């Protein structure tokens, strides 16, 4: 039976059925724990499964029986090297995860500080008394994205400049189109990006009303009983607009409505918010 299990382990090793190899080797070693070939096959299967510590242990058992076995010694060297590589990979992954965790934590703090400063500024414009907490300011509500939203929104904090870069959507309701700006630095203005987007006419712009100087930017808010629109100065930086008391970042991605400066669609669209 020992030979039967040993031979079947050899076949499964060639077929890369490593789990079956280990089962057959365990049964064979039950009959003869000093079987060099079985220990060697166990070591190879364990090495293939990245179970290098166990593979090294098998090699050591084999070398205790036959110290000069060339194949086993070579396999042990492969296992030791494999262990070093795995530990290095594990270290790199842990370091990457640590840095990512620190980045997200710093990002969340930066966003919170940014919005809290905005809240305090607005409060000071309306009251000479300091707020009881950073988030209280005469009915002004500031919401921040949760951790899940932050992790998927690709908001980036530059530690050297302490500035945030946001993903931003420009929405064109007239044509049901949009532009996704992957990296909008909070110090850049809306005009900066409009100049790039409309350097050439948009393929969907049938009337050619959408130009860098011929559009207006708005954001929608729910600060009152009904949704409203706030017009955004195109020369304002993104960071200033995000601090507006009525602005709420949804799901970690700011979005803005872009309308033609003139035309029937603008009048109809704005009228919806005046009802």
Read off the pLDDT of residues 167-188 as tens digits, 9 standing for 90 and up: 899 999 999 999 999 999 999 9
Name which of 179, 180, 164 is nearest 242 in CA terms. Answer: 164
Given a cut of 80, whether residue 149 has pLDDT beyond it is: no
Note the Cα 54 to chain centre separation in Å: 35
CATH 3.10.20.90 domain range(s) in the chain: 154-272
| Residue 190 tokens, joined | 């809306």
Pairing of strands 255-260, 177-185: unpaired
**Average confidence (pLDDT) over 31-35:** 93
Q: What is the pLDDT of residue 248?
A: 85
Q: Which of 86-90, 158-162, 186-190, 256-260 has the lowest mean pLDDT?
A: 158-162
Which residues are within 8 A (CB) of 229 and not within 5 positions of it... i.e. 6 or more apart?
Answer: 218, 219, 220, 221, 257, 270, 273
Q: Which CATH number fits domain 2-87: 1.20.120.1770, 3.40.50.1970, 1.25.40.10, 3.40.50.2000?
A: 1.25.40.10
Q: What is the pLDDT of residue 108?
A: 63
Which residues are within 8 A (CB) of 188 and not within 5 positions of it... i.e. 6 or more apart?
Answer: 237, 238
- CB 12: neighbour CB atoms within 10 A? 20
| Residue 215 tokens, joined | 């559009």
Report the distance separating Cα 228 and Cα 24, nearest Å. Answer: 72
Given a cut of 70, whether residue 51 has pLDDT beyond it is: yes
Given a cut of 70, whether residue 121 has pLDDT beyond it is: no
Q: What is the pLDDT of residue 107?
A: 61
Give the three-class secondary structure for 143: coil
For the chain, give the percent of residues with pLDDT over 90.
57
Name which of 3, 26, 24 is nearest 13 in CA terms. Answer: 24
Q: What is the pLDDT of residue 110?
A: 59
Note the Cα 13 to chain centre separation in Å: 40
Q: What is the pLDDT of residue 56?
A: 96
- CB 248: neighbour CB atoms within 10 A? 19
Q: How do residues 73-113 score in pLDDT, each as one tens digit?
A: 999 999 999 999 999 988 988 888 888 777 667 666 655 55
Q: Cα Rg for the chain, rounded, in angstroms?
A: 32
Report the distance separating Cα 197 and Cα 200, nearest Å. Answer: 7
Class of domain 154-272: alpha beta
Q: What is the pLDDT of residue 159?
A: 78
Q: How do residues 185-205 score in pLDDT, each as one tens digit?
A: 999 999 999 999 999 999 999
For the chain, give the percent of residues with pLDDT over 70.
80
Count helices and strands in the chain by DSSP H and E runs: 9, 6
CATH 1.25.40.10 domain range(s) in the chain: 2-87
């Amino acid at each position: 039976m020992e030979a039967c299990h040993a031979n079947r382990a050899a076949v499964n090793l060639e077929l890369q059925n490593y789990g079956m190899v280990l089962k057959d080797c365990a049964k064979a070693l039950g009959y003869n724990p000093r079987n060099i070939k079985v220990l060697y096959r166990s070591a190879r299967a364990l090495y293939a499964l990245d179970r290098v510590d166990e593979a090294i242990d098998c090699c050591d058992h084999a070398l205790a029986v036959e110290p000069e076995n060339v194949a086993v010694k070579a396999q042990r060297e492969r296992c030791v090297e494999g262990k070093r590589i795995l530990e290095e990979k594990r270290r790199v992954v842990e370091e990457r995860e640590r840095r990512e965790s620190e980045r997200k934590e710093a990002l969340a703090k930066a966003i919170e500080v940014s919005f809290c400063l905005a809240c305090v500024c607005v409060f000071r414009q309306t009251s000479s008394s300091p707020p009881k907490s950073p988030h209280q300011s005469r009915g002004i509500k500031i919401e921040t994205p949760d951790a899940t939203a932050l992790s998927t929104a690709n908001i980036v904090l530059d530690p050297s400049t302490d500035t945030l870069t946001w993903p931003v959507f420009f929405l064109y309701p007239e044509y049901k189109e949009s532009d996704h700006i992957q990296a909008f630095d909070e110090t850049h203005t809306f005009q900066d990006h409009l100049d790039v987007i409309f350097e050439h006419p948009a393929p969907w712009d049938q009337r050619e009303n959408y130009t860098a100087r011929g559009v207006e930017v708005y954001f929608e808010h729910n600060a009152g009983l009904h949704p409203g629109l706030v017009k955004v100065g195109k020369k304002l930086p993104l960071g200033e607009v995000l601090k507006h008391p009525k602005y709420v970042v949804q799901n970690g991605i700011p979005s803005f409505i872009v309308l033609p400066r003139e035309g029937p669609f603008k009048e109809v669209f704005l009228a919806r918010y005046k009802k």
